[in-house]
Structure 1
Amino acid sequence: MRTVIFDLDGTLADTSGDLIEAANACFRQLGLGDVLDPSRDQGTALRGGKRMLTVGLERTGRYDAEVVERFYPVLLEAYAGQIDRHTVLYPGAMAAVGALKQAGYGVGICTNKPEALAERLLQSLGVRDDFASLVGADTLAVRKPDPEPLREAARRAGGDPARTLLVGDSDTDRNTARAAGVPSVLVTFGPAGDDMAALAPEALLERYEDLPGLVARLIGAAGG
């Protein structure tokens, strides 16, 4: 089976608001106030918890690698408590997922969000059952851009890892697909959308309605 594997944060859903709130909870504990701004720092949020802590501490002149490591579990706990307050699925995302499944493709998720948090978020959004696989940052001993999580997501979705495609929003996703020897499609509607063309993916995606056609062009018809 041919498969389409999606990144989660910044690709299927805009999770930046809840991530930033969790980071700011850490900064408040440090007496720094709300360092990150929900509109200005969306791109930073979608690079992960440690990146948010690093940027916030650097911005306030308080960077310390030990503080980042110490507060990362605090951030994850804060995030788990409010994982879907501001998060929204991108327009057309689930309709595209449905169209791909209807066409016969296996569909899964490969994310660098911890698996339990990804599971909780997808359940909360009511879309977990739409995906045949979920591989998170800690599912395996390695994470993206190592290609093995992508390959495992394809296998768990019932597919051939060599006949898959990764939909993402970052250089991490582009490098993961390249390492796996498969095509990538990068979305342009996220915070870093203007930077995606420079990464030279096999295709750019401006709207989810176009994804099924791109998939068929890049990896062939599901039954082919």
Structure 2
Amino acid sequence: MNGFPFAIVGFDLDGTLLDTLGDLAAAVNHTLAQMDRAPLAEAAVRPMIGRGAKHMLEEGLRASGGVPDGAVEGLYPELLRFYEAHIAVHSRPFPGVVAALDGLDALGVRTAVVTNKLEGLARQLLGGLDLADRMATIIGGDTVGARKPSPEPIRAMIERCGGGRAVFIGDSIYDVMAAKHAGVPSVAVSFGFLDRPAGELGADHVIDHFDELVPLLARL
């Protein structure tokens, strides 16, 4: 391990590893169009991301005119269908992600993804961007029967990676809470899909660019 203090580095997906806003907003707006609703700006969709697609759809309905009875359950399959068919049109790794993963690989660190996105969609998205094979495990919102902010997905990540000291990187209060409840340090990214300033998430550390990650972790 070359003296590096962490055996496992876990990442949230949307808004942390990947900028997926364009594709998620497109899926929301496609679904809203089924109800003849006007599209939402990407800036309006941004804070809706982080608790899974069903929550995002519900918030999109609320922001565009209200949530009729049964609308979320009725429209959710169409949102998933559209998103799966257009999952990586605009989505890209945030600047510095690939170099950070390269640096962690060189140190013998196991990397993982823990997301509230469905595991199948997470694997499809990461695979489409040639990142899936770099992860020791990928845990989705439907993988272990619990979602962030529950600590169970983080605990499952550590177990599946073979144990050892872990740290978790994310962009939401759910990421920070999951890490804290699992007893691992947290790092917030200031460029993610934030619903508040990164410094207010309660993370142990904040980074403004992925170039800062490996040097920060080396000091902890």
How far has the Cα of 1:33 moved from its partner? Answer: 3.4
How far residue 193 of structure 1 moved from its aligned partner, in angstroms, is 7.8
Give the secondary structure class of the aligned counterpart of 2:149.
coil
Aligned residues of 2:170 and 2:189 also touching (Cα < 8 A):
yes
Match of 2:92 in 1: 88
Q: 2:72 aligns with which of 58, 62, 68?
A: 68
Q: TM-score, normalised by structure 2?
A: 0.91
Structure 2: stretches of 5+ with no match in the other structure: 1-5
The partner residue of 1:18 within 12, 15, 23 is: 23
Which residue identity does 1:202 align to in structure 2? Answer: D
Q: Rate the CA distance shift 1:14–1:159 in 2: closer, same or farther, 3 A.
A: same
Q: In percent, how many aligned pairs have the same letter?
A: 40
SS of equivalent to 2:70: helix
**1:188, 1:194 within 8 Å by CA — same for their partners in 2?**
no
What secondary structure does 2:41 align onto?
coil
Number of paired residues? 215
Letter in 2 for 1:74: E
For the Cα contact (< 8 Å) 1:187–1:193, is it kept in 2? Answer: no
Match of 2:190 among 188, 191, 194: 188
Report the Cα distance in structure 1 between the residues aligned to 2:150 and 2:51, rounded to whole angstroms: 16
Closer, same or farther in 2 for the Cα pair 1:97/1:193, shift >3 Å? farther
For the residues of structure 1 that align with 2:30 and 2:195, how far apart are their CA atoms? 27
Deviates more, 1:58-67 or 1:5-14: 58-67
Structure 1 residue 199: Cα displacement: 1.9
Q: Which residue of 2 aligns with 1:169?
A: 171
Q: 2:113 aligns with which of 109, 114, 132?
A: 109
TM-score, structure 1 as length reference: 0.89
Q: Check conservation: 1:96, 1:208, Cα contact below 8 A.
A: yes
